[in-house]
Every structure is written in structure tokens, then in C-alpha cells.
Amino acid sequence: MFTPRLIAKKFVAREQGEGAGARVHRSIGTTRLRNLDPFLMLDEFNVGLPGGFPDHPHRGFETVTYVLPTSKGHMCHEDFLGNKGELRPGDLQWMTPGKGIMHAEMPKSEVPSHGLQLWINLPSSSRMIEPRYQEISRDTVPHAFNEDKSIEAIVFAGEVFGKRGPIETQAPVTYVHFMLDKGAKLEYPIPETHHVFVYAVTGTGKCVDHSIEPHEAIVMEMKGDGVLLQADENDKLEVIVMTGEPLEEPV
């Protein structure tokens, strides 16, 4: 019998300024939730030129940039090592800065790019490694389905419905985009040692017995088998579920 984890904290991510003229909904990394080991920050961005995130440094933590499949715009990135590329709707970049990197992330045009950026603390043993990129395209990322096809999972890290994500993580972490049809119910098992964070992207539904809506952030308790989600009977529901084993190390 599946015993769902209960909700420890739930709140709506407020919009704030970030970068150069950009606006984000920040959930992790605020006064409401300073961090959730190993996760340090989560922003939902929706930005077009001239806004963006010009040259800035990273060191000691990983950044995960996901352009949502429904985004109208693209994101471009470039660093001081000469690496450059473009993230299309549905693409994800998992950057491990290691000992440090300077880079920029800017929308390709005035058409807004809609996505999420997550920061993950690195184990101390990995903080001085060489910078590394893992770029996963929308064409190659595994898509998994439940038996009746009412739930689709885009699996970047971890395993769902028999499909394993391609990302090699520095610490035990999962990252999955779930899309539930109207009325669909998901029981998603979670490793018992992992912290769990759910972010609602679109639609309405319930997490355990609490209603959820877009921009809502949910921290689950540690006790229980996993996450229980259900879309409303008249609406679909999309969420990102992130889980990670606490490092218990300084940032």
C-alpha cells in the first residue's frame, strides 16, 4: 500500500527582479525557504530581450536550466572558455561549474523564453573539478508513460515508469517533469533519504489532499513512500518534481 508523504510547507512563489531587466518567480532561495539541501535556489523565468542574465560567475554548485516545451522563445548561453549554444523549448542544460566559470544566459529574441533554473550544491569533493556541461535535447530525453497513458514524464535525472534519465549527477538527485491529464492520479515513489520539492507549472489539482495552482511551491515531509498528485477533473496539471539526498555540507 502506497503511503504518501504529507506537505511540510506550501506557498506561492512571488515575482521579483533578477539579472538585467528580467522577472522571475523565486521559490527556493527566499525568506520563505532559504534552501532545501542540496537545492539552493529555484527560479521560474519568462524573459525576452533586452532582459536577460548577462555575464556572471558560478562556482561550487550546479545550475540546471530547463526551457519548458511550451516556451515561445529560446535561450542562448556563452562562457569565457569559448563554449556557446542554444536551448530550444524542451531542452535542458546541466552545468557543473566546479572550480569556477563566467557565463551569460540571454533570450535569443524579444519573444519570451519560459523555463526554470535550479541551483544544486556540490559535494566538497567536486567543487574544484573542471567545468562540465551536459546538454539534453528535446529530441533525445526519455519520455515515459503510465499504463493508460494518462501521465507523461520527461525524465532528466532518476527513473520513472521504467525509463531512466541521461543526466550524470554529482550527488543523488532526481529531476522529472510530470504532465497529468484531467483527473489523472500519480503515485511517485521517492528514496526515503531524499528531500522532495514539487513546483506547479500549469493547471490545477491536488498534492495529497491540498489544492495546488501555478507558481506554487511544495516541500514534502520525510516520512512516507513518495508523492501523491492528482489533476482536477476539468484541468490538466504539470509539475516539476525534484528530489535530492541532503549533503549536510556548507554552501
Give the C-alpha distances (Å, rounded to integers) separating 195 from 77, 110, 169, 224.
Answer: 30, 37, 16, 11
58 in a known ligand binding site: yes
DSSP H/E element including 117: strand 113-121
Nearest one of 115, 72, 112, 109 to 93, comparing CA atoms = 115
Nearest to 21 by CA among 119, 85, 107, 84: 107
User: Nine-digit cell at 232?
Assistant: 482536477
Q: Are strands 237-244 and 7-12 parallel, antiparallel or unpaired?
A: unpaired
Amino acid at 155: V
**Secondary structure letter of residue 208 according to DSSP:** T
| Residue 105 is assigned to a ligand binding site | yes
Question: In DSSP terms, which residues pair with 84 in a beta bridge?
Answer: 78
25 is in an annotated binding site: no
- C-alpha span between 59 and 136 (Å, rounded): 22
Cβ neighbours of residue 244 under 8 Å, at least 6 residues apart?
Answer: 36, 37, 38, 39, 120, 171, 172, 173, 174, 194, 195
From the list 185, 1, 35, the residue with the least C-alpha distance to 118 is 35
Binding residues for Fe cation: 56, 58, 103, 105
